[in-house]
Structure formats: structure tokens, C-alpha cells
Amino acid sequence: MAEKENPMKEIIIEKVTVNMGIGEPGEGLNSAKALMEALTGATAIETKAKDRNPTFKLRKGLPIGVKTTLRGGKAVAFLEKALAAKKKVLSISNFDGRGNFSFGIKEYIDFPGAKYNPNMAMIGFDVCVTLGRRGERVKRRKLKTSKVGKAHVLTKEEGMEFAKSKLDVTME
């Protein structure tokens, strides 16, 4: 008799967060926001500086970047394109202790379907993938918050195995 797979142990992509750091407000930030919305198909929001740094002429609250969060089918479709830009090769150091992984794309024209814009600087972006299992919401919900058992928490090895098997990623 074949053993059934526990559906609660299935690893899923919770979200994909895309981040572009520009470093200063102005026209560059507006063009980065338009580029982000064109690449992801989702609304981008501005990120603000958290600390004051006179060397870089930054003050707290100054908009210096853009980000967007993708979930569901949009997240998977975007992730496939982003991994294609990286030639589906990731390093072991791209993974954290909870199985999540992040990688960067140096220039936006490496992304499939992106067209070169001579009015825009060559900027890159970061892609952060959050993996999880069904039922992990109990640790984040507002009412009756509870702990997640050790056996249910994702490990680095499980995240790497998911990337290899489901996303056809190779490790270097």
C-alpha cells in the first residue's frame, strides 16, 4: 500500500518581492517605478530611507527605491522569467535558514521581454522568494496566535530541493 503525501507538508511559494534601490528621489525614481510596473504587471510603491546619512545626502523618510509584492500565479510567472534571466543557476548562499531564497539581476535588459530604454540608466533589481507550508498563518494571525511545530518549519535543504525539483534550478 502506497503511503499518501501529507498535503500540509507541501511547499508553496507564498510571495515574490521585487526591489529596486535607486538611492535618490527624482526622475530616476519615477522611471524605476514605471519599469517595475511594466516588468511585474503590479503596482509599485516607494520605499523610504530609514536612517540619516549625510555622506550620501540621505535623510529619514526620503524616497530612495521602489518595491512590489506578487502572490499566486503572477508570482510564479514572474519567478520563471527572473530565473531564466539567471540561466536557472543559483548558489547555496542564496538560501537562508528557512528555505527562502534571493537573487539579483544586474541589468533590467537581461529580463525576458524587457526592452532597452535609452532615457533610463542601467539599473538592476533584487528578487526575494518566500516559501512556506499551508497552516503557517497561525503564527501571523491576529487572533489566537500559535506556534508552528519544528517538523512543520521549512529548512534550507528543503528549500533547495524545492527549487531544484519544481523550478528546475541548478546549484553551483
Domain boundaries, the chain: 7-171
Cα dist from 77 to 18, 56, 73, 120, 167, whole Å: 13, 36, 6, 25, 11
Per-residue pLDDT, averaged over 101-121, amounts to: 85
Q: What percentage of residues in the chain have a pLDDT greater than 90? A: 56
Please classify residue 56 by burial: count the beta carbons closer than 10 Å to its beta carbon, then call 0-12 exposed, 13-18 middle and 19+ buried: exposed
pTM: 0.87
Is the pLDDT at 95 greater than 80? The verdict is yes
Nearest to 10 by CA among 134, 129, 96: 134
Q: Any idea which architecture 7-171 has in CATH? A: 2-Layer Sandwich (3.30)
pLDDT at residue number 92: 93
Contact 39, 114 (CB under 8 A): yes
